């Protein structure tokens, strides 16, 4: 009849609350520790189960699996778990099937995961897990590029030819687009300590619908003009760029009075000068 201490060890080793899955490293190391010349002493299964916190039958099956692999001619005992691929929900879609379904969706329908899942008929959660596991499907952004016609491309090329100059050796080079000054002139210093100090100016632009000007017999492009909300003030302090009392251009605070002043003194005269005569018999509306 087994002793009380033996019964206590067996019951604690077989307690279901301490069962856990062993890693492949734990399996191999425990078998190497308890084996002596390829054999196990009496009570090794229970002691090993008590040490790792699993059932004694698990150690017994692991030992039988290792002996069977050695008998089959394997150089190293096979102690790997059989749970991989045999537990959990079965995979309904292979990675290749998911890739094929997503690639069949047009790019403009793949802007969001929700749209991609709707058009590919694959749940969004599966797509997220597929992206984390396969690392082949990733989000990318692209910048908007100008949609140029053939006439636009020719116009750009013609504009670039204006800056093409001939060198002494017969080669051509592009002329740098810079300031044109005389030898006795210096370019004004323009420097700021921070990008926050860059001057910001508000502009008012007036445009209209392009149309044919029958009075001038030419095409009206619709451009009335553009004006900056600035004012000329006297510099209150001197700096390295100008002396005290110099006239400087500063941004203007825009309110109702300033806006009405530029409408009446800038926009209206420009409309009277540039707008086609008789273009709007019912009047011109400034929005």
Domain ranges of the chain: 30-72, 93-195, 199-274
- Residue 260: its pLDDT value, please? 92
Angle between helices 124-134 and 113-120 (to 10 degrees): 110
Please name the residue that has the structure tokens 């001939």: 166
- Write the pLDDT tens digit of every residue in 14-52: 444 445 566 666 666 666 666 676 677 777 778 777 776
Q: Which of 106, 102, 39 is nearest to 66 (CA)?
A: 39
Give the chain's count of helices (H) and strands (E). Answer: 10, 8
Tell me, what DSSP letter sits at residue 154?
A: H
Cβ–Cβ under 8 Å, residues 47 and 34:
yes
- Write the pLDDT tens digit of every residue in 3-15: 444 434 444 444 4
- Write the pLDDT tens digit of every residue in 165-210: 666 665 665 555 555 555 555 666 555 556 666 778 999 999 988 9
Cβ–Cβ under 8 Å, residues 44 and 34:
yes
Angle between helices 4-13 and 44-52 (to 10 degrees): 50
Output the six-digit token pair for 5.
């201490």
- Residue 20: its pLDDT value, please? 58
Distance CA 65, CA 76 (A): 12
- Residue 144: its pLDDT value, please? 58
Beta partners for 228? Answer: 203
Please name the residue that has the structure tokens 């492949």: 24
Strand stretches in 106-238, DSSP E = 164-166, 172-174, 203-207, 211-213, 218-220, 223-228, 230-234
Q: How confident is the model at residue 113 (pLDDT cuts 50, 70, 90)?
A: confident
pLDDT at 77 over 80: no
Long-range contacts formed by 6-14: CB under 8 A, 24+ apart: 9/46, 9/47, 9/50, 10/46, 10/56, 12/50, 13/46, 13/49, 13/50, 13/55, 13/56, 14/49, 14/55, 14/56
Cβ–Cβ under 8 Å, residues 113 and 102:
no
Of 89-93, 158-162, 224-228, give the range with the top mean pLDDT: 224-228
Rounded mean pLDDT of 218-242? 90
SS3 212: strand
Cβ–Cβ under 8 Å, residues 49 and 59:
yes
Helix, strand, coil content of the chain in percent (nearest 5): 40, 10, 50
Sign of the alpha-carbon dihedral angle for 52, 57, 61, 64: positive
């Amino acid at each position: 009849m087994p002793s009380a201490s033996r019964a206590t060890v067996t019951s604690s080793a077989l307690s279901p609350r301490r069962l856990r899955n062993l890693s492949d490293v734990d399996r191999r190391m425990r078998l190497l520790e308890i084996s002596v010349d390829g054999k196990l002493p009496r009570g090794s299964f229970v002691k090993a189960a008590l040490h790792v916190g699993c059932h004694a039958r698990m150690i017994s099956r692991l030992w039988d699996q290792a002996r069977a692999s050695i008998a089959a001619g394997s150089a190293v005992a096979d102690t790997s778990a059989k749970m991989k691929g045999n537990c959990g929900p079965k995979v309904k879609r292979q990675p290749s099937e998911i890739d094929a379904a997503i690639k069949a969706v047009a790019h403009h329908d793949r802007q969001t995961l929700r749209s991609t899942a709707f058009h590919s008929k694959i749940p969004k959660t599966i797509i997220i897990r597929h992206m984390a596991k396969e690392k082949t499907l990733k989000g990318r952004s692209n910048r908007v590029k100008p949609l140029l016609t053939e006439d636009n491309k020719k116009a750009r090329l013609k504009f670039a030819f204006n800056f093409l100059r001939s060198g002494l050796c017969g080669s051509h080079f592009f002329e740098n687009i810079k300031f044109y000054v005389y030898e006795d002139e210096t370019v004004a210093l323009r420097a700021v300590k921070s990008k926050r100090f860059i001057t910001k100016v508000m502009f008012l632009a007036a445009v209209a619908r392009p149309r044919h000007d029958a009075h001038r017999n030419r095409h009206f492009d619709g451009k009335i003009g553009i004006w900056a909300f600035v004012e000329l003030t006297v510099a209150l302090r001197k700096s390295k760029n100008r002396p005290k009392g110099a006239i400087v251009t500063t941004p203007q605070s825009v309110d109702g009075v300033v806006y009405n002043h530029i409408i009446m003194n800038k926009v209206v005269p420009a409309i009277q000068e540039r707008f086609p005569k008789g273009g709007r018999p019912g009047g011109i509306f400034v929005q």
